[in-house]
Amino acid sequence: MAVEITCDIEGIDQFKAAMQTFDSATQRHVHRQLASWAADVKASARKHVPVRTGYLQSTIYAKIQEWIAEIGAEATYALFVELGTRYMQAQPYLYPAIQEHLPSLEQIILEAFDAAKTEATL
């Protein structure tokens, strides 16, 4: 199960254009911040996940590709634990972890946006 967060931001076209002018050092800095954020979410999800055998916990992952963070679990039953079934109550672990760390993601995005605007002189 993978969770991808997307949202419409006013001025996204300007942001994309500004990101094109970002120097590589700034891009690496933002990428490191995003990777750190994803690692924090992964650690939090591992803390929240119910553990019977430990397999589900061991399959929780965080991947960063360009500007996209993907956090999920590879166990075949991960979705059933997160959302529940008609026979089993939900035991969310990914959603609470993401919610816990959303404020810091917002800060990373705002800092990147401000840096891009400054560098592109928008």
Per-residue pLDDT of 2-34, as tens digits, reads 544 444 456 667 766 666 666 666 777 778 889
Structure tokens at 50: 């119910």
Asked whether residue 93 is domain-assigned, the answer is yes
Instruction: Provide the pLDDT for residue 22.
Output: 61
As a dihedral over the C-alpha atoms of residue 3, residue 107, residue 28, residue 5, rounded to 10 degrees, the angle is: 20
pLDDT tens-digit profile of 73-105? 999 999 999 999 999 999 999 999 999 999 998
In this predicted structure, which of 12-16, 60-64, 109-113 has the lowest mean pLDDT? 12-16
* Number of continuous H segments (helices) and E segments (strands) in the chain: 5, 3
Domain total in the chain: 1
More confident residue, 117 or 5: 117
8 A C-beta contact, residue 38 and residue 60: no
Instruction: Provide the pLDDT for residue 25.
Output: 63
Helix (H) or strand (E) holding 23: none
Instruction: Provide the pLDDT for residue 68.
Output: 84
Residue 71 carries which side chain, given as an amino acid letter? I
Domain range enclosing 62: 30-120
Asked whether residue 50 is domain-assigned, the answer is yes
Residue 37 backbone dihedrals phi, psi, to 5 degrees: -60, -45
Q: Distance between CA 8 and CA 30 in Å, rounded?
A: 20
Asked whether residue 97 is domain-assigned, the answer is yes
Asked whether residue 86 is domain-assigned, the answer is yes
Structure tokens at 17: 């254009």
Asked whether residue 21 is domain-assigned, the answer is no
Asked whether residue 40 is domain-assigned, the answer is yes
